[in-house]
Amino acid sequence: MLNRRHALTALAASVVMLSGFPAFALDKSAFSQAAFDAAMKAGKSVLIDVSAPWCPTCKAQAPILSELAKQPRFKNLVVFNVDFDSQKDALRGFKAQQQSTLIVFKGGAEMGRSVGDTNKASIEALLARAI
């Protein structure tokens, strides 16, 4: 029999899991040119995620990226989110013409990009180019 305490505990756990609790999400930083330049200068592996909150493809990419981020080989990948609607200078700088664009860098050089991809295997292969 389910008592009130068990029901509330189960409800709280469900809310935490569905709310995008940080332990289950990809750690993205909002893009800034200074932070990107510092990562490039330091030779970091970087993913640029161009997205928009209204984009269904971006929403489909998000759980794939979060799942891949849990893999130990991607733990040092620095991820910057470029907002498609408000960061037009960054879009021009990266020559990104649409949302759902993923661009990877390693050692200061672009290693690959994809647009509109929601296939886990090909996104994983793209990220692997950066490590």
Triad 64, 68, 71: Cα angle to 5°:
160
Q: What does the pLDDT profile of the chain (131 residues) look like in tens digits? A: 444 444 434 444 443 333 333 333 456 788 999 999 999 999 899 999 999 999 999 999 999 999 998 999 998 899 999 999 999 999 999 999 999 999 999 988 999 999 999 999 999 999 999 99
Token pair 């389910």 is found at: 2
12 inside domain: no
Q: pTM surpassing 0.85?
A: no
Of 35, 62, 40, the closest CA to residue 51 belongs to 62
Domain of residue 46 covers 22-128
Of 93, 105, 102, the closest CA to residue 130 belongs to 105
Which CATH number belongs to the domain containing residue 111 in this structure? 3.40.30.10
Would you please indicate which residues are annotated as catalytic (active-site) residues? Answer: 55, 58
Q: Which two tokens stand for residue 26?
A: 């990809």
